[in-house]
Structure 1
């Protein structure tokens, strides 16, 4: 992916030589200078340190303490707040123009989208909403996803229009319905109930899940955590209460006689376990249930990033006759895991006949480029603007 001319990249760490000379400098330096240093992994809710940098730090000695995950997440959240306060209206507009410009590379527009998501606020909602006139179903799907995760009620009107547009692609309408449920405003309950019987199965099932989630919130369930420290995403269903074994959760996940909401609860509980056993149980879900269910399994596996699931994800991406909705999510997950075998599969499908799969592979490969680079954050549109225009 081409970089903006003159762009600079902020790294969490200084060079090894600088760290050895000033043991405590890396943490203080980042706190003071990297208002943009918050990695927003594409479609990931968990900002984490890059694996290669983490391994390199652990090999070093005498360079100060390495912050643990809790401390890092706190810093990243504070960094997001500072960045939103620092972004000028002109900078917000500049990032928004990148997002809605069809002449820009899709990978660049995705980075702009997640920059706006991280900045938040009414202006970000306005710019993201303008993107629904694009002809890329993948981009519109991600626009709806981001609006749902932002949980800003100002997005309800545009999401409603997308859901109601029966000419829109199913995966876009589905994501609009899920986003309406994620925002958590009970005023959309009747709208969602209306679409629970939509002729498009993916839309109907999504709205059924969204209704169940809002009813769960109404009953006082909103105080439960969705995944502790590891995940901060707004999920379509909460995890089940503790006390069930991984085997029991796997059985519930794969039981097609259970309500979809209950299977989703088992799904997110398995995700939160984080073990290889839980990851493989989830991977089994890629061969059962509806396309919506399998697509959500792919999303969750991308959050987990467990290497044991690569064979199942590759099989889903390559499976003849599989829904494009599922294949695109498998591609995203492979990009998140980022191993060599993932790269091979994504390259093979970069010219796929299904546009949404093709574009998903392009963006996933950009994510892999990011993973293997020295860049700290993926959502870097504001940082690039600052780098190319130091006075801006």
Structure 2
């Protein structure tokens, strides 16, 4: 009987084995101090990540969802307001809009990059629109210049959802530095991930930065003097210490992802699947390596039977989820996102993949199509 490699879609343990001694040493700088909330380690990470992204400020937040939530709250967006975003994002993007009482308005996707289609944004603007949240999906930046121009014309704020794009470039600039604010997730599987939940907001505006600091920690500048209703949404110093270590490796890990993506592209080029593209304005960091296949479910079953784990990111567009059925969206409102959700398949992708594993995945995909002929 033929034996197959067990190939995970992602494997965080391999990365941990590479950096565990650095991680232990970093945690040892925090644990003896007794400073387990806020403090110098968090400030150090915030400064380093801000410098990495090319902005003045970074604020560590408890998770990526809350980064988006607090960014919207800092703009005083609330009931009666609308926020435009993309239909194929993770639901947290829309939930953050709902948390402040506003209404998410969904736009279909660009057929090549799977990010928001700028040509479809303007038609969604009403007198209630306050902001646009483009999502840098799978590690590929959205086309920001036309979005920023539309926002300028209508007086709107732009918040980047950069949860999947740590280190990605748009016209030579890092995501998180392109708009009014950038919101990151440091969920463990992200290109830059901690060992638990974490998030961050990057920005240049000192007044917004001050307001976000107050919102992040119970509405106070001075402890026990509560100026506004705030939240408990701080990134803790242990996670910040871990992220400081991993940030030093991020560029190398992103290049590893790009190397595996290039090999997949080479090995799958002649097969009847649509491969991910990298536009001329972008540097893709391949949070996911996402193909499209009309026989997606059958291909996934084939790979699973051969020990290859895959993911579907995401199977149902957000406006078609039950949570948003009250908004009345139908597939014909977002035809590309709806169709692609039935075809998308994320192959194993993480920096510590091995060449033999990438080749085994590609060979299994090839064998699937050979079995259909």
Identify the TM-score tier after normalising by the shorter chain.
under 0.3
TM-score, normalised relative to structure 1:
0.27
Return the structure number with greater strand share: 2
More helix per residue? 1
Higher relative contact order (CA 8 A, sep 6+): 2
